[in-house]
Amino acid sequence: MKQFIGCDTHARYSVFVSVDETGRIGAPVRIEHGGSDLRDYLSGLEKGTPVAVEASGGWYWFMDELEKAGLDARLVNPLEAKHRMSGKNKTDKLDAKGLAILLRNGTLPEVWIPPARLRDLRGLMRTRLATRSHTTVLKNRIHAALRRYGVMDGEPPADLFSPKNRSRLSGVVCKLPEETRRATLHELEILDVIERHIDELEVRIRERIGRLGWVRLLKSMPGVGEILGATIYLEIGDVGRFPTAEHVASYAGLVPTVHASGGKSWHGPTSPQANHYLRWAFVEAAHAVLMHRHTYADQHVIELYDRLKKNKCHGKAAVAVARHLAEASWWVLKKRQQYRPPHVHVVAESSSRNG
């Protein structure tokens, strides 16, 4: 008899609960991750048995173990799954049983499982993004120290940390008080080390991802370069899992929430339940377009921004541009063609007149 298994996994152990086709619930089984206990348990299950696991922080290796054992691995949206489970109590046994029941009933909120190679390359891109955020923190601290003591002469350059402005930066840092100067010099040294590591990551990204044809197609979109193109490609993955372009925009968290009742509708903020890396990439691309708006031959996105900016704030107008780019990426990947701006279709009217 076919079994449906729910698994509540943790760092050191996992709890499994099975439900058969008749709805009979088996006893919970706790398996420690150390040693060969987990592999022995999984190998004892019938090949092709579906196993539901929540998308928690350590699911990468767990999916690999399930696939090696020949099982049907199912990744679950944990928040949506909890909403569909009955009861208010939360224990490992209840969570595993709830997943098994949802799996048997066909109501399990599944999440797409990227291939192992794609998961590995995602780590490269996400590490680069996280590392870059550290440089932003350090630069902000250095700027703050210079402002506190007013040591900058004249208007500061747009990029004080560029190579051509580095000598000027070193000169103004030397004007700081002794201990603040010492601390700021340490921050500059750390910044230089991080920048070297980022350069190495970007070289690897260009070698492993940047030469892919999919990324070259995505780079044809406004505001999208090597880093953003690679990020968009890796985070979307198999574009076939999205039935429409609007689904990509929703997955990236660029579609406002809607409340409609009694013939009235209200559009709220975008949902926080989204792929934040993909959202970042499209918003960054939108800002890149707006910063260099006069260099683009395609003015559609500029006109879209200007039209919305009349009645909305900059942030909402920029998100609208990001949504356009998200939907355009679906067409680029689906059609395997370079980006083309949408055209306004003009309906020709007959000028003939009745005599």
Q: 3-state class of 15 per DSSP?
A: strand
Are 181 and 164 in the same domain?
yes
Helix axes of 276-291 and 116-149: crossing angle, nearest 10 degrees: 50
Are 53 and 72 in the same domain?
yes
Are 330 and 224 in the same domain?
yes
**CA–CA separation, 118 and 124 (whole Å):** 10
**CA–CA separation, 10 and 249 (whole Å):** 32
**Structure confidence at residue 343 (pLDDT):** 67
Phi and psi at 258, nearest 5°, equal -125, 130
- How does pLDDT run across 75-96, given as a tens digit for each residue? 999 999 999 998 888 899 999 9
Are 172 and 80 in the same domain?
no
- Domain C-terminal end among 192, 211, 230: 211
**What rounded mean pLDDT belongs to the chain?**
91
**Structure confidence at residue 345 (pLDDT):** 45
- Domain C-terminal end among 187, 211, 235: 211
pLDDT band per the 50, 70, 90 thresholds, residue 259: confident
Tell me how many domains the chain contains. Answer: 3
Top pLDDT among 212 and 251 is at 251
| Residue 262 counted as domain residue | yes
| Residue 27 counted as domain residue | yes
Residue 135's domain comprises: 116-211
Neighbouring C-beta atoms of residue 172, cutoff 10 Å: 19
pTM of the predicted structure, to 2 decimals:
0.86
**Structure confidence at residue 55 (pLDDT):** 92
Whether the pLDDT of residue 348 is over 60: the answer is: no
Interstrand relation of 3-9 and 50-54 (parallel, antiparallel or unpaired): parallel
| % of the chain with per-residue pLDDT over 70 | 96
Are 98 and 124 in the same domain?
no
Lookup: tokens for 331: 């067409």
* Contact predicate 144/229, CB 8 Å: no
- How does pLDDT run across 275-299, given as a tens digit for each residue? 999 999 999 999 999 998 887 766 7
Give the CB-side neighbour count of residue 64, counting CA atoms within 13 A.
7
**Structure confidence at residue 152 (pLDDT):** 84
Whether the pLDDT of residue 352 is over 90: the answer is: no
Are 328 and 290 in the same domain?
yes
- How does pLDDT run across 179-220, given as a tens digit for each residue? 999 999 999 999 999 999 999 999 999 999 988 899 999 999
The alpha-helical segments, DSSP class H, found in 206-348 are 213-218, 226-236, 245-251, 276-291, 300-309, 314-335
| Residue 128 counted as domain residue | yes
**Structure confidence at residue 118 (pLDDT):** 93
Average pLDDT of span 21-35: 95
Are 184 and 259 in the same domain?
no
Are 202 and 290 in the same domain?
no
Are 138 and 234 in the same domain?
no
* Contact predicate 321/289, CB 8 Å: yes
**CA–CA separation, 84 and 99 (whole Å):** 9
* Contact predicate 110/77, CB 8 Å: yes
Amino acid letter at 5? I
Per this entry, what is the length of the chain?
A: 355
| Residue 344 counted as domain residue | no
The residue with tokens 């780079």 is: 219
For residue 122, give every residue at least 6 positions away whose Cβ sits within 8 Å of its Cβ, in sequence order, or none.
114, 234, 235
**CA–CA separation, 164 and 49 (whole Å):** 62
pLDDT band per the 50, 70, 90 thresholds, residue 341: confident
- Domain C-terminal end among 184, 211, 238: 211
The residue with tokens 């680029």 is: 332
pLDDT band per the 50, 70, 90 thresholds, residue 272: confident
- How does pLDDT run across 321-337, given as a tens digit for each residue? 999 999 999 999 999 99
Average pLDDT of span 111-129: 93
Top pLDDT among 332 and 344 is at 332
**CA–CA separation, 205 and 209 (whole Å):** 5
Are 224 and 331 in the same domain?
yes
Whether the pLDDT of residue 269 is over 90: the answer is: no
| Residue 353 counted as domain residue | no
Are 107 and 120 in the same domain?
no
Domain harbouring 14, CATH code: 3.30.420.10
| Residue 25 counted as domain residue | yes
**Structure confidence at residue 89 (pLDDT):** 85
Are 199 and 141 in the same domain?
yes
| Residue 43 counted as domain residue | yes
- How does pLDDT run across 30-79, given as a tens digit for each residue? 999 988 999 999 999 999 999 999 998 789 999 999 999 999 999 999 99
Give the CB-side neighbour count of residue 140, counting CA atoms within 13 A.
6
Whether the pLDDT of residue 157 is over 90: the answer is: no
Which whole-number Å values give the CA distances from 344 to 300, 339, 341, 347, in the listed order?
10, 16, 10, 10
* Contact predicate 188/290, CB 8 Å: no
| Residue 350 counted as domain residue | no
Q: In what order do the strands lie in the sheet with 50-54?
A: 29-32, 13-20, 3-9, 50-54, 72-76, 110-111
Phi and psi at 350, nearest 5°, equal -70, 135
**CA–CA separation, 173 and 148 (whole Å):** 12
